[in-house]
Amino acid sequence: MKKTLSRILIAILLVIPLYSLGGTKVASAADLTRVHFEFRWNNPNDVSYRQTKQTTSGYGLKSNTVNIPWYSATAWGHSYKAGKTGNVNVSQGHTYHIYANHSYNLYNKLVEWYGRGNAAYINASSHSNGHAYGYWHADH
């Protein structure tokens, strides 16, 4: 009797963790379209998540919340064809002042210079202490 009861108890204790696995969710990747920049006077630069660029369109940036007057944004990319670190400014000199609640089309030459399928990202800069939130798409 004691032996049977202990076997049942062990079986229950082994099955409960397996049963609980059925209700768990698989973690998903970060939302690459959401952007959050954090600025400090002594560390003024921040970058967005990287997205794959397929077309010659601009980077689409929609700023929602900006708790500083404005920040600067330029289009950057990453390609092994660029050499060294692979990080390259593809804005061709275009820098944008980004204000809250505005949409922007950031000029870039990533596909033209390095081909399709390279990583695109936004390099943002401000010497003010603050942050900015919004959304962006590599293929606008």
3-class SS at 134? strand
Question: Can you give the pLDDT at residue 37?
Answer: 97
The model's pTM: 0.76
pLDDT (tens, 9 = 90+) of the chain, 140 residues, equals: 777 767 776 767 666 655 554 444 443 445 568 999 999 999 999 999 999 999 999 999 999 999 999 999 999 999 999 888 899 999 999 999 999 999 999 999 999 999 999 999 999 999 999 999 999 999 97
Which residue has tokens 């108890």? 9
Question: Can you give the pLDDT at residue 126?
Answer: 97
Question: Can you give the pLDDT at residue 25?
Answer: 42
DSSP 27-85: PPPP-TTEEEEEEBTTB-EEEPPPEEE-SSSPEEEEEEEESSS-EEEEEEEE-GGG-TT
Question: Can you give the pLDDT at residue 16?
Answer: 60
